[in-house]
Amino acid sequence: MKVRTEIKQTFFDLAVSYAGSAEAAYDIAYAAGCSVTDTPPAEVEIPDVQNAAVAAYFVQQQVTPATKADDTEINGLL
């Protein structure tokens, strides 16, 4: 399934919320031609769901993780 990414989402955010497992980040990044440390493109392909209960929780609770902090945010916390 293809999904649109949100601002500040990482491949790990996408993996947990759509595939139910952080391990799927590597598959999602590879399919996008990226490294897991890169910023995801506007649309990504999500592989098979690895943990349906976790993925369903994110959909049910309408939670969209976006954990990428930029340098200004990090410096503001120090």
| Tens digit of each residue's pLDDT (9 = 90 or more) over 21-49 | 999 999 999 999 999 999 999 999 998 89
- Going by pLDDT thresholds of 50, 70 and 90, the confidence category of residue 73 is low
| Calpha distance 5→3 (Å, rounded) | 6
Q: For residue 32, what are the domain limits?
A: 2-77
> What's the mean pLDDT in 5-25?
94
pLDDT at position 63: 86
- Number of folded domains that form the chain: 1
Mean per-residue pLDDT for 57-61? 92
pTM, full prediction: 0.83
Per-residue confidence (pLDDT) for residue 48, from 0 to 100:
86
